[in-house]
Amino acid sequence: MKLLIKLIAIKIIFLFGTYANANDVDDWLAGLKTKYDGTELVFAMTSHPGTDGIQALVPEFTKKTGIKISFDIMGEGQLIDKTLLECQSPDLKWDVIMIAAETSPQMLHDNCTVPLNDYLMDQTIAPSEPFGMDDYVPAYLSLFKMDDQIVALPFAGETVFLTYRKDLFEEKGLKAPKTWDEFLSHSKQLKTDDVAAVVMRIGRGWEFTYMWSIFIYPFGGDMVDLETNTAQIDNAGNAASLEYLRKLLPYGPVGFENYHWDTSMTAIMEGKAAMSVEASALAGEYENPDKSRTAGKLAYAPLPTGPSGAYSGVWGWGLGVKKTSKNQEAAIAAIAYFTSKAKHQEYVDAGGPVSRTHVLANPDNQAKHPYYQATLDTLDQAAALYAKGKSAVPKTAKWFQISDVMGVYGSEAFVGERTIEDALAQMNEQVQKILDE
Amino acid sequence: MLNTNFLNKKKGGLAPFFAKREYLFYIGPAFIVTFVLMFLPLFQIIVGSMHKWEFGKPLFDSEFVGLRNYIELNYGYVSFGKSLLKTSIYGFGSLAIELCLGLLIAILLTNMRRTRGIFSAIFIIPIVIMPAMVGLTWKMYLSYDGLVNWVLSIFHIPKMNWMGTDLALVSLILVDVWQWTPFFVLILFAGLQTLPKDPIDAIRVDGANDLQTFFYVKLPLLLPLIIIVCILRIMEIIRNFDVVFAIYQGGPGSSTETLPIAVWRMFMSQRQVGMGSAFSFILILLSFFIAFIFINFLKRTRVTH
């Protein structure tokens, strides 16, 4: 009986909370309608599950505010290139830009986006409760904060974790690897002619650096020291991590050396790989039975431990407002709404990757999305890296240049075109040159 | 005929100059358009290549570095020498195969009187597909479980790693051959149709067989056309970015880091517009040099005829 009363009480509180929440949101939108009715905004975004999530929220927003939104959707590389090339141009009629975490320092440096801090204090633009500034996963928000200025609002945070096939692991009597050595030994056992043991993005350029940075810190390596402005690449830890990646090469699929995030995702979804070290943002696609043959067959785990510890990183996408936009306030209100605490569950249900704490911590969501617990665990691993004063994405406007240099030499070492020693020495020299400029 | 009498009535100024040079009125508009669209950007590339010019900075606020960008072309993480080598292998490899195959198919088409129309229409299809789409489609075809290996398996040939370091450049040549051989076929087929009949009849009367007729009469007569097609194609291959980027992005390792990919890396990843301009200018010079050789060869063949 007591339990029943408790449940009824919880239900009443929940219903009241939802009602109050809905009222707050309606008040917010009504306020926006009086100020910005008829405004037209252009969102520049890339094809991404997060974009699908945002698009699902648009009809209600437009209906209640009168703000019309159109989307200019392009490939990831094209969006980044176009943004970096033309963000200062008033001729580029974008109001909102989907910004990759790696490029956010550069956005601020190049004066491309509006710092959001002051606007977010305005209760008509972003009222504290339905918006919920404190509810963002702190690590995701920090990706878009430079010198205490908020460049963008995170909406599709990602960390990197381990995905594996439960059925194949059970067949071999294996459990999720706890160390990278164990991961390698699992790879040897899982590789067959039809199924690769491991997939991950490892192709030339920034994607190589993205993945390598996951291995650098567990093996005792480093990238740059921004306090002393020095490249820290030519060291034994980095050599060990590259050596380890090379050892994985035979256990990847044929053509592994040219795998990018999309090929890696496809391999898992088609059941052609037993394990994947990839972005958490892809897991929603893995678990979609309409798209994936392996939906329901996968399990997720935090990254294994290396000789120097277990670390992961955080990446992701945020929404920023272009400095030359003529509708800055309306655009900021729109991105505050789309990334708000009140709408995040709806966004996630439409396929968007999670970036708010209350959705991640919700037990119902954890039961529904088997990768949420692993996401929380790898966020802890990323926090451990932050605690060391390090990050997989160092906050410098030069990171985009640096990561490409590392990814080019790294890829050449990975396929055996260069020795690891030569690659690291060259990388260090080139990165130092970039830092000195 | 343009009426320029009004110019003759006015004395002094530029009128007498233009009165004697009526042709300037005809070529003037075309010259101005060409100058604005071609020479101004070229001038900007040349000036830019002599500055340490970065994105977001106006060109004339950038430091003048003279020829330093050219001297350092081979010392950065993007190697000009390596990229040039990859581009040459890709370019001349594709060109040679496309020419031989194109010529062969054009001759076969000439002998297929009823079905040549259908085949000509089919051959246009690869040419009109967007390069990025060609790249993305072939990325799937070239995967280990893709179409190419499936076709090989029909002939009991073992599957190959087309995405690996060893075969990446070969795969690019294969894709280029698939897309652009039809271009050679269509042009050379049209050329074969318009060859004068007298020399062919003459050598036939002298007792020449088909092979002799082709090598001694048809091929020399086709040579100017072949050279023009080669010039057009080599220009296209040298600046082919979309297909290479869509399939390989320059990798794995540096296997497909051709010159356009290197230029892109300089511009977009390193934001070194000055260095990228130096790469681009050398690419332009290279295209000019190759075109010059072909055109000279073309002149010589005309003299021979």
User: What pLDDT score was predicted for residue A321?
Assistant: 96
* Structural domain range at position B202: 79-304
Chain A interface, mutation test: which of B72, B149, B163, most A Cβ atoms within 10 Å? B163
Alpha carbon distance A188, B247 (integer Å): 29
Tell whether A396 and A347 lie within a shared domain. Answer: no
Q: Is residue A382 part of a domain?
A: no
Q: Is residue A233 part of a domain?
A: yes
**CATH at residue B153:** 1.10.3720.10
Cβ-based contacts under 8 A for chains A and B: 85
Tell whether A257 and A218 lie within a shared domain. Answer: yes
Q: CA-based Rg of chain B, rounded to a whole angstrom? A: 25
Tell whether A408 and A358 lie within a shared domain. Answer: no
Task: Give pLDDT tens digits for B108-123.
Answer: 988 887 777 788 788 8
Tell whether A12 and A151 lie within a shared domain. Answer: yes
Task: Name residue, tokens 């051709």.
Answer: B258
Q: Is residue A417 part of a domain?
A: yes
Percent with pLDDT over 70 in chain A: 95
Alpha carbon distance B243, B164 (integer Å): 17
Band of pLDDT at residue B16, cut at 50, 70 and 90: confident
Query: Mean pLDDT score of chain A, rounded to an integer?
Result: 91
Cβ distance of B253 and A415 shorter than 8 Å: yes
Q: Is residue A274 part of a domain?
A: yes
Tell whether A345 and A265 lie within a shared domain. Answer: no
Cβ distance of B254 and A417 shorter than 8 Å: yes
User: What pLDDT score was predicted for residue A11?
Assistant: 43
Tell whether A321 and A291 lie within a shared domain. Answer: no
Alpha carbon distance B163, A254 (integer Å): 8
Tell whether A93 and A118 lie within a shared domain. Answer: yes
**CATH at residue A399:** 3.40.190.10
Say if residue A3's pLDDT is above 50: no
- In the predicted model, what is the mean pLDDT of residues B57-69? 86
Say if residue A405's pLDDT is above 80: yes
Cβ distance of A85 and B55 shorter than 8 Å: yes
Tell whether A320 and A430 lie within a shared domain. Answer: no
Alpha carbon distance A417, A208 (integer Å): 15
Say if residue A2's pLDDT is above 60: no
Cβ distance of B161 and A254 shorter than 8 Å: yes
Cβ distance of B254 and A412 shorter than 8 Å: yes
Beta bridge partners of B132: none
- If one counts every other C-beta atom within 10 angstroms of the C-beta of residue A66, the result is 16
Decide if A260 touches B, using CB distance below 8 A: yes
Chain B nearest C-alpha distance from A106 (Å): 11
Q: Is residue B127 part of a domain?
A: yes
Chain A nearest C-alpha distance from B164 (Å): 5
Overall domain count for chain A: 2
Q: Which of A79-83, A416-420, B47-51 comes out lowest in average pLDDT? A: A79-83
For residues B12 and B292, the model is more confident at B292
Tell whether A197 and A73 lie within a shared domain. Answer: no
A95 is written with which tokens? 């109001």
Tell whether A325 and A183 lie within a shared domain. Answer: no
Band of pLDDT at residue A148, cut at 50, 70 and 90: confident
Alpha carbon distance B115, A124 (integer Å): 72
ipTM for the assembly: 0.81
Q: Are A360 and A154 in contact (CB under 8 A)?
A: no
Task: Give pLDDT tens digits for B132-145.
Answer: 899 999 999 999 98
Band of pLDDT at residue B10, cut at 50, 70 and 90: low
* Structural domain range at position A329: 2-157+315-368
Cβ distance of B165 and A401 shorter than 8 Å: no
CA distances from B200 to B191, B192, B207 (A): 14, 12, 11
Q: Which of A32, A35, A13 is nearest to A24 (CA)?
A: A32
Amino acid of residue A149: Q
Beta bridge partners of A99: A318
Q: Is residue A306 part of a domain?
A: yes
Q: Is residue B158 part of a domain?
A: yes
Say if residue A335's pLDDT is above 90: yes
User: What pLDDT score was predicted for residue B4?
Assistant: 52
Q: Exposed e or buried b for every residue in B266-285, given b needs 16+ CB within 10 A?
A: bbbbbbbbbbbbbbbbbbee
Say if residue A8's pLDDT is above 50: no
Q: Is residue A380 part of a domain?
A: no
Overall domain count for chain B: 1
Task: Give pLDDT tens digits for B36-56.
Answer: 888 888 999 999 999 988 877
Q: Which of A47-61, A415-429, B282-296 comes out lowest in average pLDDT? A: B282-296
Q: Are B248 and B173 in contact (CB under 8 A)?
A: no
Nearest chain A residue to B264 by CA distance is A81
Q: Which residues of B touch A258 (CB under 8 A)?
A: 163-164, 168, 248, 251-252
Nearest chain A residue to B55 by CA distance is A85
Band of pLDDT at residue B187, cut at 50, 70 and 90: very high
Q: Exposed e or buried b for every residue in A99-135, given b needs 16+ CB within 10 A?
A: bbbbbbbbbbebebbbbbeebbeeeebbbeebbbeeb
Alpha helices in A287-398 (DSSP H): 328-338, 341-349, 357-361, 363-368, 372-387
Percent with pLDDT over 90 in chain A: 79
Band of pLDDT at residue A419, cut at 50, 70 and 90: very high
Percent with pLDDT over 70 in chain B: 94
Q: Is residue A375 part of a domain?
A: no
Alpha carbon distance B292, B63 (integer Å): 34
Q: Is residue B112 part of a domain?
A: yes
User: What pLDDT score was predicted for residue A16?
Assistant: 40
Alpha carbon distance A309, A412 (integer Å): 27
- In the predicted model, what is the mean pLDDT of residues A301-321? 95
The conformation of residue A132, written as its DSSP 8-state character, comes to: -
Q: Which of A230, A25, A55, A42 is nearest to A130 (CA)?
A: A25
Give Cβ neighbours of residue A366 (< 8 Å, ≥ 6 apart): A360, A372, A373
Tell whether A302 and A323 lie within a shared domain. Answer: no
Chain A interface, mutation test: which of B74, B166, B249, B275, most A Cβ atoms within 10 Å? B249
Band of pLDDT at residue A185, cut at 50, 70 and 90: very high
User: What pLDDT score was predicted for residue A31?
Assistant: 93
Decide if A426 touches B, using CB distance below 8 A: yes
Cβ distance of A257 and B165 shorter than 8 Å: yes
Task: Give pLDDT tens digits for B83-110.
Answer: 999 999 999 999 999 999 999 999 998 8
Say if residue A15's pLDDT is above 80: no
CA distances from A56 to A60, A158, A362 (A): 9, 20, 21
Q: Is residue B271 part of a domain?
A: yes
Tell whether A184 and A170 lie within a shared domain. Answer: yes
Cβ distance of A405 and B77 shorter than 8 Å: yes
Q: Which of A349, A123, A31 is nearest to A133 (CA)?
A: A123
Q: Is residue A203 part of a domain?
A: yes
User: What pLDDT score was predicted for residue A191?
Assistant: 96
